[in-house]
Amino acid sequence: MYEIEPVKAKGCYLWDKNGTQYLDFYGGHAVISIGHTHPHYVKSVSEQLQEIGFYSNSVVNTLQNLVAEKLGRLSGYEDYAFFFCNSGAEANENALKLASFATKRDKIIAFRRAFHGRTSGTVAATDNPSIIAPFNALHHVEFVPFNDLHATQEVLSKGDVSAVIIEGIQGVGGIHVPDTAFLIALQEACEQNGTFLIVDEIQSGYGRSGKFFAHQYAGIRPDLITVAKGMGNGFPVAGVLIAPIFKPSLGLLGTTFGGNHLACAAALSALDVIEDEHLIENAAAMGEYLVHRLQEIKGVSDIRGQGLMVGLEFEYEVAEIRKQLLFSHHIFTGYSGKYTIRLLPPLCISEIEIDLLIDSLNMITHNLS
């Protein structure tokens, strides 16, 4: 944890308690989608709070329908149902549960370097033994190499797999993009073996990849799609898009806070801005510009990602680069392991901010070389 306390934010910038301005190229783990304190977002949440902030899901909340309808329309999944919850981990947990309910199986396939959350089932499907307690390890999860169709088919062919869960783009694991051919074949293999395909779009969704969902580059339609992070632009809200093949029953899934009035106001305003300000198109264009400019940086061994979800891998450890970016140049970035800087700026980023990042990286890497 860095000893910096942001107390104000606007657009792509933050200010700490001492008045120092920072450029945000991390978006608080990709949460900030439409930009900090967007006027429409602030107005929508503030006005909703003055009316009603929360009540039970045992009564009607029309805002839930408005969010689900707009999400379906903008994402191209108008025929899917939507279950509201509070976090990405909870969304993945419920998707895994739905698949298990439907198949009557309990085994899951996940992929090497995967990160799906820290709740009981999702942490078991996360490829990081250091955060898996013995209690979590009781889940039946088998990890296979990323993009390895043969290994995946071999496990699927046993006929005991409830679901395959895969990130639209691996985030914590280092910004690794699934091969298009692999995703297409994976969906076919799941269908052939009576297994559901879950795509975790918690970090890569909501326009970050340059499409509404990263898996849409492959043209597939998963059975279950999980969303969170950019959905509420900072307000805790998440959910699962559910294919029509699933038949709902009363009480199958439940939540206390999911889909509350404030969460819906935040989610609806984020979708409004994404649509009205063409932020998905901006993510695609600025992502292309960012990758182009990053090719100038010395010591870079690989650049991975799509849109504004970019991993910059160096030939040496990046801790010093990130430290200088933050404390000398006042730019927030993330990381994925020792060698990769993770860039997840708000979708409203422009060439001006990208140029500032590139100038700073050029200065730092030149001095380190």
pLDDT at 367: 86
pLDDT category, 271, cuts 50, 70, 90?
Answer: very high
- Distance separating alpha carbons of residues 251 and 227, to the nearest angstrom: 21
Residues carrying CATH 3.90.1150.10, the chain: 6-34+278-368
Alpha helix (H) residue ranges in 111-216: 120-124, 149-156, 180-192
Closest CA to 204 of 4, 33, 2, 40: 33
CB atoms near residue 130 (< 10 Å): 4
Instruction: Give per-residue pLDDT as tens, 206-228.
Output: 999 999 999 999 999 999 999 99
The model carries a pTM of 0.97
Residue 289: Cβ-neighbour burial (10 angstroms; 0-12, 13-18, 19+): middle
- Distance separating alpha carbons of residues 253 and 23, to the nearest angstrom: 40
User: How far out from the chain centre does Cα 134 lie?
Assistant: 27
Cα dihedral 168, 174, 180, 186 sign: negative
Residue 139: Cβ-neighbour burial (10 angstroms; 0-12, 13-18, 19+): middle
Amino acid identity, position 173: G
Residues carrying CATH 3.40.640.10, the chain: 39-276
- Distance separating alpha carbons of residues 76 and 289, to the nearest angstrom: 26
pLDDT at 153: 98
User: How far out from the chain centre does Cα 94 lie?
Assistant: 16
- The yes-or-no verdict on residue 123 having pLDDT over 80 is yes
Closest CA to 228 of 137, 113, 95: 95
- The yes-or-no verdict on residue 368 having pLDDT over 90 is no
Domain 6-34+278-368 sits in CATH at: 3.90.1150.10
- Distance separating alpha carbons of residues 363 and 193, to the nearest angstrom: 53
Domain 39-276 sits in CATH at: 3.40.640.10
CB atoms near residue 278 (< 10 Å): 14
User: Are 147 and 179 within 8 A, CB to CB?
Assistant: yes
pLDDT at 251: 83
Closest CA to 241 of 281, 213, 274: 213
- The yes-or-no verdict on residue 2 having pLDDT over 90 is no
- The yes-or-no verdict on residue 369 having pLDDT over 80 is no
pLDDT at 250: 76
Q: If you average pLDDT over every residue of the chain, what do you get? A: 97
Q: Where are the beta strands (DSSP E) in the chain?
A: 6-10, 13-16, 21-24, 81-85, 107-111, 140-144, 161-167, 196-200, 224-227, 238-242, 300-306, 309-314, 331-332, 334-335, 340-343
Spatial CB neighbours of 12, under 8 Å, sequence gap ≥ 6: 23, 24, 35, 36, 345, 346, 348, 349, 350, 353
Which residue is associated with the tokens 């650049």?
Answer: 303
Sheet holding 300-306, edge to edge: 300-306, 309-314, 340-343, 334-335
